[in-house]
């Protein structure tokens, strides 16, 4: 590139800059004014007319739906165990569970709701009369105890979570895929001890 062509390019850029500085604000003001006038005009086109894009409508309905489900979930007095794992609607986890096999979904739902074949629930159903954990015999056999607190499987828990013990608050933070993986491991290694056969 020689000096002459560089000079002409700089001249061109300078002229374009002057043009946009001169007319840019005027064009914006004109566009604003026309938009304002359009809002006052009668609608022309297929009826019924809705001044929102379909994407906005879908988004608003989705947000309303999530808020309504959360409100109803908070107001339900029952489901104590399920609320320990699920506080609000979680789209990411929902998308995960709908892709699970029927067998895994059954196991996960049992874990999250407490409607499973762990000893506490079987005792409530009067199927057995000892609600204690069959591994440690120290606490009631529940999902929270199994996943976060049973000392008999602390080593294995550490392999999955990186910690020996997890409280209810910790378990809420974990992805359900890890809870399911740990439960599948228990099911295959302690088939006679841990009754995680499914939902009751
Ligand atoms: Zn235990």
Position 86 scores a pLDDT of 86
3-state SS class at 82: helix
* pTM for this model (two decimals): 0.65
Number of C-beta neighbours around residue 97 at 10 A: 16
Position 97 scores a pLDDT of 94
3-state SS class at 60: helix
Position 37 scores a pLDDT of 84
pLDDT one-digit tens code per residue, 132-142: 998 899 999 99
Measured in Å, residue 120 CA sits from the centre of ligand 1 at 12
Measured in Å, residue 135 CA sits from the centre of ligand 1 at 5
Measured in Å, residue 152 CA sits from the centre of ligand 1 at 6
In the chain, the largest separation of any two C-alpha atoms, in whole Å, equals: 98
Question: What stretches in the chain show pLDDT beneath 70?
Answer: 1-8, 10, 14, 16-25, 50, 189-200
How far, in Å, are 21, 57, 116, 142, 185 from residue 119 at the CA level?
77, 48, 9, 7, 18
Q: With beta carbons less than 8 A apart as the criterion, state whether 104 and 180 touch.
A: yes
Listed residue (125, 144, 98, 131) closest to 199, CA to CA: 125
Position 41 scores a pLDDT of 81
Position 4 scores a pLDDT of 61
Measured in Å, residue 42 CA sits from the centre of ligand 1 at 72
Position 192 scores a pLDDT of 55
Position 96 scores a pLDDT of 95
**DSSP per position, 22-56:** HHHHHHHHHHHHHHHHHHHSPP-SSSSP-SS-HHH
Q: Where are the domains of the chain?
A: 81-189
Q: How far apart are CA 19 and CA 12, in angstroms?
A: 11
Listed residue (93, 86, 97, 84) closest to 148, CA to CA: 84
Q: Which residues pair with 132 in a beta bridge?
A: 140
Measured in Å, residue 79 CA sits from the centre of ligand 1 at 23
Measured in Å, residue 187 CA sits from the centre of ligand 1 at 15
Position 184 scores a pLDDT of 87
Measured in Å, residue 117 CA sits from the centre of ligand 1 at 15
Measured in Å, residue 143 CA sits from the centre of ligand 1 at 10
């Amino acid at each position: 590139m020689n000096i002459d062509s560089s000079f002409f390019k700089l001249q061109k850029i300078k002229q374009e800059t002057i043009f946009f500085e001169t007319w840019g604000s005027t064009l914006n003001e004109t566009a604003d004014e026309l938009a304002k006038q359009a809002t006052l005009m009668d609608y022309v086109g297929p009826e019924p007319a809705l001044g929102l894009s379909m994407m906005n409508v879908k988004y608003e309905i989705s947000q309303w739906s999530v808020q309504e489900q959360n409100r109803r979930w908070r107001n339900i007095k029952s489901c104590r165990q399920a609320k320990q794992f699920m506080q609000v609607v979680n789209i990411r986890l929902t998308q995960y569970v709908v892709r699970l096999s029927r067998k895994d979904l059954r196991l996960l739902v049992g874990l999250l709701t407490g409607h499973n074949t762990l000893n506490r629930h079987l005792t409530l159903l009067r199927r057995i009369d000892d609600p204690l954990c069959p591994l440690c015999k120290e606490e009631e056999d529940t999902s929270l105890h199994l996943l976060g607190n049973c000392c008999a499987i602390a080593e294995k828990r550490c392999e999955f979570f990186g910690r020996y013990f997890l409280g209810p608050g910790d378990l809420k933070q974990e992805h359900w895929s890890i809870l399911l993986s740990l439960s599948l491991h228990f099911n295959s290694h302690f088939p006679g001890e841990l009754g995680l056969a499914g939902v009751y």
